[in-house]
A and B are shown apart, each in its own frame.
Chain A
Amino acid sequence: MKHVVVIGGGVAGIRCAIELAEMGIEVTIVEKQKHIGGKVRNWHKLFPSFTPAENVVEELIKRVQNCQNVQIRCCCEAENITPHQVTISGGETLNCDAVVVASGFTLFDARIKEEYGYGIYDNVITSADLEDMLNRRAVKLTNGASPRRIALLHCVGSRDEKVCQRHCSKVCCVTGVKQAMELKRLFPTADVFNFYMDIRMFGPGYEEMYREAQADYNIHFVRGRISEVSPTIDGKLQIKAEDTLTGRPLKMGVDLLVLLIGMKAGDSNKRFELSCHLRRQDSGFMQPKDSFLGNVESNMNGVFYAGTVTAPKTIGESLNEAVTAAHSVAEWIKHTA
Chain B
Amino acid sequence: MINFGFSISKPRTIDIDRNNLHKSNEIIEAMPELQTCIGCGSCTATCTAGNLTEFNFRKVHTLVRRGEYQGAYEEMNKCMLCGKCRLVCPRGINTRGVVMLIKRKIGDF
Residues of A whose CB lies within 8 Å of any CB of B are 199, 211, 214-216, 218-221, 223, 243, 245-253
Q: Choose from B33, B35, B66, B91 the contact partner of A246 (Cβ within 8 Å).
A: B66
Contact with A along B31-73 (1 / 0, CB 8 A): 0110110110000000000000000001100110110100000
Q: On chain B, which size bracket covers the interface?
A: 20 to 34
Q: Which of B14, B35, B39, B66 contacts A215 (CB 8 A)?
A: B35
Given contacts A221-B35, A245-B62, A251-B13, 6 further A-B contacts (CB under 8 A): A216-B32, A220-B35, A246-B63, A250-B16, A250-B66, A251-B15
Given contact pairs A199-B38, A223-B39, A243-B66, A248 touches B13 in the complex (Cβ within 8 A) = yes
Complex: how many Å from CA A2 to CA B15? Answer: 66
**Contact call A214/B36, Cβ cutoff below 8 A:** yes
Contact A243 B62 (CB under 8 A): yes
Q: Are A246 and B59 in contact (CB under 8 A)?
A: yes
The list of the 4 closest CB pairs from A to B, nearest first, reads: A252-B16, A250-B14, A249-B13, A214-B36
Cα distance A216–B32 when bound, in Å? 7
Nearest CB in chain A to that of B24: its residue: A220
Contact B14 A249 (CB under 8 A): yes
> Chain B residues in contact with chain A, CB under 8 A?
12-17, 28, 32-33, 35-36, 38-39, 58-59, 62-63, 65-66, 68, 91
A221 to B39, CA, bound (A): 10
> Shortest CB–CB separation between residue A310 and chain B, in angstroms?
31
Assess the B59–A218 pair: CB atoms within 8 A: no
Q: Output the nearest chain A residue to B33 by Cβ-Cβ distance.
A: A215
- What's the minimum C-beta distance from B58 to chain A, rounded to whole angstroms? 7
When distances are taken between beta carbons in the complex, the residues of chain A under 8 Å from B32 are: 215-216, 218
Within the assembled complex, what's the spacing in Å between the Cα atoms of A219 and B15? Answer: 18
Q: List 22 A-B contacts (CB under 8 A).
A: A211-B36, A214-B35, A214-B36, A215-B32, A215-B33, A215-B36, A216-B32, A219-B35, A221-B35, A243-B62, A245-B39, A246-B66, A247-B59, A248-B14, A248-B63, A248-B68, A249-B12, A250-B66, A251-B13, A251-B14, A252-B15, A252-B17
Do residues B12 and A253 form an inter-chain contact, with CB atoms below 8 A? Answer: no
B-side contacts of A250, CB under 8 Å: 13-16, 66
Q: Considering only CB atoms, which chain B residue lies closest to A212 in the complex?
A: B36
Q: Do A218 and B28 have beta carbons less than 8 Å apart?
A: yes
Residue of B with least CB distance to A240: B13
Q: In the complex, what distance in Å separates the CA atom of A249 from the CA atom of B68?
A: 12
Contact A251 B16 (CB under 8 A): yes
Contact B14 A246 (CB under 8 A): yes
Chain A contacts for B14, CB-based, 8 A: 243, 246, 248-251
Q: B65: which A residues are within 8 A, CB to CB?
A: 220
B17:A218 contact, CB within 8 angstroms: no
**Judging by beta carbons under 8 Å apart, are A218 and B16 in contact?**
no
Measured in the bound complex, the distance between the Cα atoms of B14 and A247 in whole Å is 10
A247–B66 alpha-carbon span in the complex (Å): 13
**Closest CB of chain B to A35's CB: distance in Å?**
41
A246 to B62 CA separation, bound complex (whole angstroms): 7
Is the pair B17, A253 in contact by a Cβ cutoff of 8 Å?
yes
CB pair B58–A245 under 8 Å, yes or no, is yes
Write out the residue numbers on chain B whose beta carbons fall within 8 Å of the beta carbon of A215.
32-33, 35-36
Of all chain A residues, the one with the shortest Cβ separation from B14 is A250
A192 to B28, CA, bound (A): 14
Rounded to whole angstroms, the CA-CA distance of A243 and B68 in the bound complex is: 12
